[in-house]
């Protein structure tokens, strides 16, 4: 859906250093008969601040609620890691994902856009989890 930006490459090529070591996490979701169908990461971006990032679900698993299950588990995990601020950055072409984020308590937030969204050229949606 997107051209990889330099920051994407850095995270995807160095998940241990960029996600795990600083205090984040990566979760996967498996569907019966399909194997691993989705993943998502929590990237620690500051004291008590986490970005929900790199979420994706295989097209073959859409409609199975795998994304909703994964997102709900990531929200739980973020709180378990001490998240005081849980946010995400995306693009408006991801309408289905944005609807899911809204359903699970994320709200559009101008402050998140100003603070974090500038590092992505494609980012035109920033959301903060309000629960």
- Predicted confidence (pLDDT) per residue in 39-61, tens digit: 999 999 999 999 999 888 998 88
At residue 37, does pLDDT exceed 70? Answer: yes
Are 76 and 96 in contact by the 8 Å Cβ rule? The answer is no
Q: Identify the pLDDT of residue 103.
A: 96
Cα–Cα distances in Å, from 2 out to 18, 24, 49, 120?
A: 20, 24, 25, 11
**CATH architecture, domain 6-129:** 3-Layer(aba) Sandwich (3.40)
pLDDT at position 1 is 59
With cut-offs at 50, 70 and 90, classify the pLDDT of residue 120.
Answer: confident
Give Cβ neighbours of residue 58 (< 8 Å, ≥ 6 apart).
34, 37, 38
Query: Domain coordinates of the chain in residue numbers?
Result: 6-129
pLDDT-derived band at 2 (thresholds 50, 70, 90) equals low
Mention every residue, 6+ apart, whose C-beta is less than 8 A from residue 10: 18
Cα separations in angstroms, 60 against 38, 70, 105, 119 = 10, 16, 26, 31
Q: 112 or 116: whose pLDDT is higher? A: 112
Provide the terminal-to-terminal Cα distance of the chain, rounded to the nearest Å. Answer: 28
CB 126 within 8 A of CB 113: yes
- Tokens 């309000």 sit at which residue? 130
């Amino acid at each position: 859906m997107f051209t990889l930006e330099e920051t994407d490459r850095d995270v995807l090529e160095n998940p241990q250093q960029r996600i795990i070591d600083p205090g984040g996490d990566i979760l996967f979701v498996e569907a019966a008969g399909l194997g691993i169908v989705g993943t998502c990461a929590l990237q620690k971006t500051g004291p008590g601040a986490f970005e929900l990032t790199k979420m994706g679900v295989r097209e073959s698993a859409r409609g199975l609620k795998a994304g909703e299950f994964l997102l709900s588990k990531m929200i739980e995990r973020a709180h378990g890691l001490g998240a005081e601020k849980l946010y995400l950055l995306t693009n408006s072409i991801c309408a289905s994902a944005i609807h899911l984020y809204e359903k699970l308590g994320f709200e559009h937030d101008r402050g998140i856009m100003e603070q974090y969204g500038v590092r992505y050229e494609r980012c035109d949606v920033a959301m903060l989890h309000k629960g």
